[in-house]
Amino acid sequence: MPLARSLLTLALASTSLNAALAADAPLPAPIDALRERGLEIHERFDAPGGLVGFGASSPGQEMVIYLTPDGEHAIIGTLFDAQGENLSEAALETHVRAPLEAQTWQSLEQSHWVQDGSTDAPRRVYMFTDPNCTYCKALWRQTRPWVEAGEVQIRHILVGILAPNSPALAATLLAADDPEQALAAHSEGEPITASAQSVAIEEQVYTNNQLFDELGLHATPTSAFKRETDGAVRLDRIEGLPGHDRLIEMMGGEAPR
């Protein structure tokens, strides 16, 4: 399932795509009126029949808006050609889902994470990890072959959501002298004692928790990664421990020997 469908909340909460589009050219009056009514306007594109298309969304819904040639009217709906082919689905993929996924990936990159693996690894996976999550520790162990071979770098976005002391434990790991080693020791079963941290570190955990909520997630671990789908690179996600096939998809191939 493309990640953007499940993580649409984050992208809808941001106006950066709207701002970029507006910076290029003013929105036509009918499109701007829909924006004023709460629609997020994403990308403008040329559509058949002299129409101009706009990718748009509202909470839980993706759509294409077509501006008529006179610039005075807008239609929300599905455009078909003479053979009955749905032309709007491709527009949704290109002008709504792809931009939202790019924005989601950028938000993951800008979160506060602990690096697990080589900086030269060709593949990256983002993983929401709670220090009290036994499944997170299990997944950490499952991913060792790929990480230790230098094929995958996992970026653990530390959150504190499962237990009252989870935020403090997450902050302690983030503030460690060697966060990667501290997370590894913790994942291998070494007890960790929460200690008081600076406000800045506590804020990092808080913003990670906010991101987790904004993405509409419900469980740890949740992993986000890129994979090729029908010739296009898309975002995917796995909540909880993946099965064998899904683990291979997430890690980009069979475990190295």
User: What is the Cβ-side half-sphere exposure of residue 133, based on CA atoms within 13 angstroms?
Assistant: 29
CA–CA gap between residue 188 and residue 81 (Å, rounded): 58
* Confidence at 6, pLDDT banded by 50, 70, 90: very low
**How far, in Å, CA of 64 to CA of 76, rounded?**
6
- Whether the domain at 3-108 and the domain at 112-251 fall into the same CATH topology: no
CA 106 and chain centroid, separation: 8
For the ranges 41-45, 72-76, 139-143, the lowest mean pLDDT is seen at 41-45
Query: In whole angstroms, what is the distance from residue 26 CA to residue 6 CA?
Result: 30
pLDDT at 183 over 80: yes
- Under 8 Å between Cβ of 79 and 88: yes
The string of pLDDT tens digits covering residues 71-113 is 999 999 999 999 999 999 999 888 888 888 888 999 999 999 9
Please state the separation of Cα 52 from the chain's center in Å: 29
User: What token pair was written down for 233?
Assistant: 């690179």
Query: Tokens 């993951």 map to which residue?
Result: 108
User: What is residue 43's three-state secondary structure?
Assistant: strand
- Domain extent listing, the chain: 3-108, 112-251
Task: Quickly name the fold that domain 3-108 has.
Answer: Nuclear Transport Factor 2; Chain: A, (3.10.450)
pLDDT at residue number 1:
43
CATH superfamily for 112-251 is Glutaredoxin (3.40.30.10)
Position 3 pLDDT exceeds 60: no
pLDDT, tens digit, for every residue of 115-133?
999 999 999 999 999 999 9
| Residue at 66: amino acid letter | Y
Query: What is the arithmetic mean of pLDDT over 30-57?
Result: 93
Instruction: Give CA angle at 92 (124, 108), nearest 5°.
Output: 25
Task: Write the single-letter amino acid at 36.
Answer: E
* For residues 162-187, average pLDDT: 97
Least confident stretch, 19-23, 100-104, 122-126, 145-149 = 19-23
- Quick one: which of 135, 126, 124 has its CA closest to 187? 135
Are 128 and 170 a contacting pair, CB within 8 Å?
Answer: no
pLDDT tens for residues 195-219? Answer: 999 999 999 999 999 999 988 899 9
Q: Which two tokens stand for residue 126?
A: 């983002």
- In terms of pLDDT, which residue wins out, 180 or 229? 180
E strands along the chain, which residues? 40-46, 52-58, 61-67, 74-76, 113-116, 123-129, 152-158, 222-229, 232-239
